[in-house]
Chain A
Amino acid sequence: MSEAGTLAVELSGITKRFPGVVANYNVSLRVRPGTIHAVVGENGAGKSTLMKTLYGMHQPDEGSIAVGGRTVAFKSPTDAIAAGIGMVHQHFKLADNLSILENIILGNEPVGRRGRIDASSAKARLAELAASLGVSFDVDDLVGTLGVGERQRVEILKVLYRGAQILILDEPTAVLVPQEVEELFATLKRLVAEGRTVIFISHKLDEVLRYCDEITVMRQGTTVATTTPSRVDRRGLAELMVGSDLPDPSGRETPIGSDVVLSVHDLSVAGASAGAKLALEEISLSVHSGEVVGVAGVEGNGQFELCEAILGLMPLVSGRVEIAGHDLTDVETRERITSGLSYIPFDRHREGLLLDAPLWENTMLGREDEPGLTSGPFIGRRKAEADAREIIRRFGVRTPSEQVPAFALSGGNQQKLVVGREMATNPKILLAAHPTRGVDVGAQAAIWEELRHARDKGLGVLLISADLEELIGLSDRIVVMFDGRITAELDPRRATPELLGTYMTGEIQDREAAR
């Protein structure tokens, strides 16, 4: 905590607008030098936008940035790097076919005589840096041969090599297993001990409380509090993140139905590359009519593959999928959809919307075979438009008309449109992946209300969410996925975010799969 007087980074009154959206509003962040400072918040709270501002990837509309007490205006990341700021992205930007050394000096090569790369001086500097980090590896190894944790350290070394005094790490632990997390923080501790400063973006409360010196909480685009681990506990931090007025979704009046609307048996799906371990390993679960089954898990533990497998978009290694009592393991996606399956996709832009197409075409997507929307091989444009207006009205999508292209809507309204489309078919089973991700509180409440309403009328929901309050509030049962398997089944009335968190990281596993 040297030079306690000047702050390493001070952001004041930062506001950043995107068309139709305020991503950051009046944000203030004060980071003292020589500390690990966590910036926490839910998905969509504006953390990444803020860090992009600090790293010069875009310019704030209002507010000022000061680094080391000096006011700066970064036009690009190059300016930020020159000011001693380095960023380690969540998705590594490394070339597999180059060595560690080559990756690190890439774009910043030490030039020796006659324009040659002076590898030996780079090596010497690197050895010094690696020693101070307490890591050791052969810098001539290809990056392609490294594990995830090692790659991350290469990224950190790369940033340090460029002289960074302030490091921004964007959700660095999202891709790490627990032991690697421990190693990462050991590295970061050494960095701050040398006087560097670390800004650590996360939404995982445990590691933030365990390892960080100070915590700034963001919610809905603005900073709501700055605190320290000694002054706040997990519950308090969670409340700061989600806001105190959590809607209480628990009280249900209708009983769960007796028919099984979705059941999967021993579902296994191959990993991304040949020889990799299974992405899904013998998953069995069932959802009854009128029941919400929550799926908890750190992203990338098989939730996406589970949805794809149920939809029939991914080849199965083994297993069976039944929807409303019919074995649909071998039929095409479209037939599963017409049998009563609906899907709110993980990423509305990638899988949910035709951004350039008008809203009425978007609400027709996947429903072209409904007799209400088409006549023979032709699109029934008037009918489709009327149907779109009905969805817009029922789900409160804020738009001038159904002729507007989807890209003109804000994220929350786009999401409401997707939810509306998927509910419009009166499905029997809904796969809802992050149904309220990145939407404002109003839209979130509206979507929850619709889900509850449909559930009361007999809809079965498989709810995948990173928002643990949403999971606990809406679900009748929660299963935890870890490493492609279901490792626990919990009663939401007894589950807390803390408990879920321990299951999600794989620290405890109720149902050890036979190995």
Chain B
Amino acid sequence: MKNQRLQRAMVTAASSVLAVIVALAISAIILLITGKDPVKAYSTLFGAAGESRVLQGMANRATPLMISAAAVAIGFKMNLFNIGVEGQMRVALLTTAVVGAAVDLPPVLHVLFCLVVAMTAGALWAGIAGWLKVKRNVNEVISTIMLNFIALSLVAWAFDDFFRVESATESLLVKTKELPKSAWFPDLVDRRLNGMFIIAILVLVLFWVVVWKTKFGFRLRASGGNSGAARATGVNPKKMILISMLLSGAIAGLVGMRALLGDVHAYQNNLAEQQGFNGIAVALLGRNHPLGIFFSALLFGFLGEASGKLQLEDIPKEITTIMSGIIVLAVVIINEAVKRWDDRRIQRKAAAELESEPKSEVES
């Protein structure tokens, strides 16, 4: 009985691994066409996996990816496609940079305060899309994309007109007022791996517990799996939409905190750029499951970190970007094919186990 679950999990994991292998093969062909040696490229790339500096960098890059993938995945569980993680992150970044620099708190408390501010800001921004969906039935894909543009411009304007501080030493870099040291998130490995990595893992663990182990999570999955059935058994779909959008936004608020609290310590343009969007790919490869997201984030983190090595060997580092793109495409295609095959397998197996008393049934 437990085996069955394990089997399904294995099939799921295997299909993602297969997608990565297919992507590697296709990338090898691209390398060949461009006249580079794929064997050399891959041995350089994966040779880097032995270096602790690369591994630390991988985990550091994976940190925001894990968080933004969790933000996307919690929406997916409810059949909501939150493409607005980028915008929610951006609103949270500026808000936290400004509010965090304005208060004076003891060290640990200050960091926690900043995290709460970030989650609140992200949740409120995502809440707009949730509210529009519940009240006006506006498709959340459209509204979150539009809210991304609005967030980007709004934040850029607020930053330029109100919060930027000309720095005396780095005159080209405009930032907000720097956060006091009490708000800095400490590094695990100095200048290599920030402590937000622990928070990211915590987010994934909490995500797993809430979605798979609690009544609330069950209702969330039920609404996502079959909203009609959930509704008929008394789950209020509007409430679930609003709550899951708020939750997704709150997690999205945390995405940029490694960059803000752990690295730059002030808001600047381009801070943590694209990290909200990249989470969509990570969630896809990780099949919206915390464990899958953990490994996919590490993989994407590794590709980003190790790409620098390729340049030393005169292989364009863009090959890793191409690889990431192909992985995502391969995942979409292979997952669908594997799911169909697996569904049929389970159906046949269930039918076979019941073969002892054959009886025809009529389906309308």
Residues of A that sit less than 8 Å from B by CB = 18-23, 25, 43-46, 48-49, 220-221, 311, 313, 332-337, 343, 345, 347, 350-357, 361, 364-369, 374, 377-379, 398-405, 407-413, 437-440, 442-443
Q: Are B229 and A400 in contact (CB under 8 A)?
A: no
A221-B362 CB under 8 A given contacts A366-B233, A378-B214, A405-B346: yes
What does the 1/0 interface line of B213-248 toward A look like (CB < 8 Å)? 111101101100110111111111000000000000
Interface of B is mostly: helix
Interface of A is mostly: loop
Per-position binary interface string of chain B over residues 261-292, scored 1 when its CB falls under 8 Å from any chain A CB and 0 otherwise: 00000000000000000000000000000000
In the complex, what distance in Å separates the CA atom of A44 from the CA atom of B361?
10
What is the number of contacts between chain A and chain B, taking CB atoms within 8 Å? 152
Q: Give the one of B1, B233, B343 with max A CB within 10 A.
A: B233
Which residues of B sit under 8 angstroms from A332, Cβ to Cβ?
A: 234, 236
User: A20-B351, A400-B350, A400-B354 in contact; A377/B229 too (CB < 8 A)?
Assistant: no
Q: State whether the Cβ of B349 lies closer than 8 Å to any Cβ in chain A.
A: yes
Name the residue of chain B whose CB is nearest to the CB of A401. B1
Shortest Cβ distance from B351 into chain A, in angstroms? 4
Q: How far is the CA of A18 from the CA of B361 in the complex (A)?
A: 10
Q: Can you give 22 contacting A-B residue pairs, CB < 8 Å?
A: A19-B344, A22-B360, A44-B362, A45-B362, A48-B364, A221-B360, A221-B362, A333-B233, A335-B234, A343-B232, A345-B229, A350-B229, A364-B218, A368-B218, A368-B219, A377-B215, A379-B215, A405-B346, A407-B347, A409-B350, A438-B362, A440-B360
Complex Cα gap A352–B228 (Å) = 8
Say yes or no for B52: interface residue by CB 8 A criterion: no
- Whether A20 pairs with B225 at a CB distance below 8 angstroms is no
* Chain B residue nearest to A345 in the complex (CB): B232
Which chain B positions have C-beta within 8 A of A398? 354, 357
The answer to whether B226 and A354 have CB atoms under 8 Å apart is yes
CB distance from A467 to the nearest CB of B (A): 12
CB-based contact A355/B236 at 8 Å: no
Partner of B214, one of A46, A313, A379, A405: A379
| Minimum CB–CB distance for B356 against chain A, Å | 10
Q: Are B347 and A20 in contact (CB under 8 A)?
A: yes
Contact yes or no, B350 A399, CB < 8 A: yes
B residues in contact with A374, CB < 8 Å: 215
Q: Are A220 and B362 in contact (CB under 8 A)?
A: yes
B136, CB-defined interface residue at 8 Å: no
With an 8 A cutoff between CB atoms, is B135 at the interface? no
Q: Are A366 and B361 in contact (CB under 8 A)?
A: no
Docked complex Cα distance between A267 and B255 (Å): 51
Q: A369-B215, A398-B354, A408-B350 are in contact. Are A21 and B232 (CB under 8 A)?
A: no
Give 17 new A-B contacts, CB below 8 A, not counting A22-B362, A351-B231, A407-B343: A19-B347, A20-B351, A23-B362, A23-B363, A334-B234, A334-B236, A337-B233, A354-B226, A364-B218, A366-B232, A368-B218, A399-B350, A403-B2, A407-B347, A410-B361, A438-B363, A439-B362
Residues of A within 8 Å of B348, CB to CB, are 19
B34 interfacial contact with A, CB 8 Å: no
Query: What residue in chain B is nearest A307 (Cβ atoms)?
Result: B232
Tell me the residues in window 124-153 of chain B with beta carbons closer than 8 Å to chain A beta carbons: none
Chain B residue at smallest Cβ distance from A366: B233
Known contacts A44-B364, A379-B215; A20 and B234 CB within 8 A of each other: no
